[in-house]
Chains A and B, each alone.
Chain A
């Protein structure tokens, strides 16, 4: 009896009594990311990136002390909703940031919209939020989900591949990426294969692919799925024989596991660790020094979102109470981003450049992404036309 009561009371106390932070706090940011379970690598990168920016500025952004509240959504939409409700109702944050996965993003959009909360996202960018469910308070410092696939589509067109064989898991994100790719690829799609979510062995798909003899292969296989596929692609002797175009498959979080097996694969995204602008170079150097690994784009996105918030706070003199002014300041995006110049579209998504990269060794002999060229300039997403508010 005593034990049960103690345990219940302790847990209750622990969960309800979490202090909100030091009394001097100026601006509270609620950062939601996936920090346990399958997607934890990405979420951790995002937190590391944001923390680096805070650290470099002495825990301040825009001259204001930042109270950084972090919550783990466990890749469960209902946990994400509860975390956001905690941010809004209990912690009374000034803005919500982060969010790793699109299904959690879709779930928290409504509670944030209902509460009139300002949001600065640094990864998930699902199509409905760029289109008919857009919100004047939501800003996405990363990219709309289709963007990377569209970049690869343009790359494939530019390279004049006669046909492309496409492989992706059977879920909404995968289908969106296929649509994004074919929006810009003007050649023939010789195969459209949907694999199981979480599938590990792709030998069957690789055999079928070999038999089809396409000019190029395109895949969207995030996380462990990508590591599995690329390793096996190499072992079937296909790497180097048939060009491999990837989206979210080879990046800073998976390249350490792939090593030289991934050399030669192409990837499409908005930023790479070899970018030659001063903000990016300083970021990469600082990140490598602190965390002893090459930063992934997810870390870069969150770092950049912190810089965005910093610029907005500077513009409003550190005040967030005038919501409209703060949002206008965010929308101005008046800062040097590590991706180069960009602007925000009316739906809160960036109009930015996309590039093609190839996996190659950097000047220290490490396997990393090397810029091949720009494929899309000042690219706006395909859904902004539906955004009306």
Chain B
């Protein structure tokens, strides 16, 4: 129960400040993000594009995790595993010469579903701390599996010689960025639809009090499983983009610390809000880079910053503007 109460506590009613603050701000955010390729072409530097592409990759993964964690109350400490699966699907297919973009996407979707469904079924038998530990354990298993796979590079990783082929867009930095942005936008729209639907209602109700949902005659398991698989698919899609961005797949993408960082990004932005994870991912990664530029010992500032945010910003950065309840 305690696990889910953070989401409940977050739903503190706040006077609505206008016709639709969240929507306006979201549009502004996307407009700013659209400016990045423009800035890049004007200054003739594609580094900014690459930097923000990486941010968008993790934003997409965080949005995916948010579905399970923020709305479903499922604290999965193993979602980075799906980023890794997405990346390895691209890398291994490419390794064998199959580099069609659509093929890669299909592979990512199918393999992820095949993994996420049984993993979800096993994990969802538990709740609370046990759920966290099981998802962590299963993710560790996949991590060690990837490290042990020596024909695919093992811990040294697998370079991707041929990126996913999408005609003229292949290997284009701007193309990748815009595709990422489009996917992110589409995911947010899809999630908005899902959350407002009956499915979303039952999911959120299950996260608040599963017993009552059962008392009404609905079994939460199916809804949670579907939410889990869908969130895994979004993370795997992020992994697909990461592989194309770095031309590399590595077990490091799946380390348990990576899962921890994803959770931080979601909470930093605001769990249970739609756009929160995007802001959280951007904030976390930009802060990290900013601090790294200041000192080698940047972690000594990062640690307390995270603690302070938890202590004082209960709803995360985005949650300061938008209460989770208002979005629905």
Query: Nearest B residue to A77 by beta-carbon distance?
Result: B250
Given the contacts A171-B147, A172-B155, A82 and B54 also touching, CB distance less than 8 Å: yes
16 CB contacts below 8 A, A to B, read A4-B321, A7-B283, A36-B297, A77-B246, A78-B248, A82-B51, A85-B46, A86-B47, A89-B46, A89-B50, A102-B156, A103-B250, A107-B159, A110-B159, A110-B247, A172-B150
How far apart are the CA atoms of A8 and B289 in the complex, in Å? 12
Residues of A within 8 A of B297 (CB): 36
Residues of A within 8 A of B292 (CB): 71-72
How far apart are the CA atoms of A18 and B48 in the complex, in Å? 13
Interface check A76, CB cutoff 8 A: yes
Chain B residues packing against A (C-beta within 8 Å): 45-48, 50-51, 54, 147-148, 150, 153-157, 159, 161, 242, 245-248, 250, 252-253, 279, 282-283, 286-287, 289-294, 296-299, 317-318, 320-321
| CB under 8 Å from chain B, chain A span 189-208 | 197
Interface check A111, CB cutoff 8 A: yes
Chain A residues packing against B (C-beta within 8 Å): 1, 3-4, 7-8, 10-12, 14-16, 18, 35-36, 71-72, 75-78, 81-82, 85-86, 88-90, 102-103, 106-107, 109-111, 126, 128, 133, 170-173, 175, 197
Residues of A within 8 A of B296 (CB): 35-36, 72
Query: Nearest B residue to A105 by beta-carbon distance?
Result: B156
Residues of B within 8 A of A110 (CB): 159, 161, 247-248
How far apart are the CA atoms of A117 and B148 in the complex, in Å? 32
Residues of B within 8 A of A89 (CB): 45-47, 50
CB-CB nearest 5 A-B residue pairs: A14-B290, A172-B154, A89-B47, A11-B286, A90-B47
Q: In the bound complex, do residue A76 and residue B51 qualify as a contact, i.e. CB atoms below 8 Å apart?
A: no
Tell me how many residue pairs across A and B have CB atoms closer than 8 Å. 123
Q: In the bound complex, do residue B156 and residue A106 qualify as a contact, i.e. CB atoms below 8 Å apart?
A: yes
Least Cβ–Cβ distance between A90 and chain B, in angstroms: 4
Residues of B within 8 A of A14 (CB): 286, 289-291, 293-294
Q: In the bound complex, do residue A173 and residue B155 qualify as a contact, i.e. CB atoms below 8 Å apart?
A: yes
Q: In the bound complex, do residue B283 and residue A107 qualify as a contact, i.e. CB atoms below 8 Å apart?
A: no
Residues of B within 8 A of A126 (CB): 156
Residues of B within 8 A of A35 (CB): 296
Q: Residue B45 contacts which of A77, A90, A103 (CB distance < 8 angstroms)?
A: A90
How far apart are the CA atoms of A247 and B290 in the complex, in Å? 37
Least Cβ–Cβ distance between B166 and chain A, in angstroms: 18
How far apart are the CA atoms of A31 and B46 in the complex, in Å? 20
Least Cβ–Cβ distance between A167 and chain B, in angstroms: 17
Q: In the bound complex, do residue B283 and residue A8 qualify as a contact, i.e. CB atoms below 8 Å apart?
A: yes
Query: Nearest B residue to A86 by beta-carbon distance?
Result: B47
Q: In the bound complex, do residue B248 and residue A106 qualify as a contact, i.e. CB atoms below 8 Å apart?
A: yes
Residues of A within 8 A of B245 (CB): 78, 81
Query: Nearest A residue to B316 by beta-carbon distance?
Result: A4
Q: Residue B321 contacts which of A1, A78, A106 (CB distance < 8 angstroms)?
A: A1
4 more contacts with CB within 8 A, not counting A4-B318, A11-B290, A110-B248, are A12-B286, A85-B51, A103-B252, A107-B250
Q: In the bound complex, do residue B159 and residue A109 qualify as a contact, i.e. CB atoms below 8 Å apart?
A: yes
Least Cβ–Cβ distance between A274 and chain B, in angstroms: 31
Given the contacts A89-B46, A172-B156, A111 and B54 also touching, CB distance less than 8 Å: no
Least Cβ–Cβ distance between A18 and chain B, in angstroms: 5
Least Cβ–Cβ distance between B242 and chain A, in angstroms: 6
How far apart are the CA atoms of A75 and B156 in the complex, in Å? 11
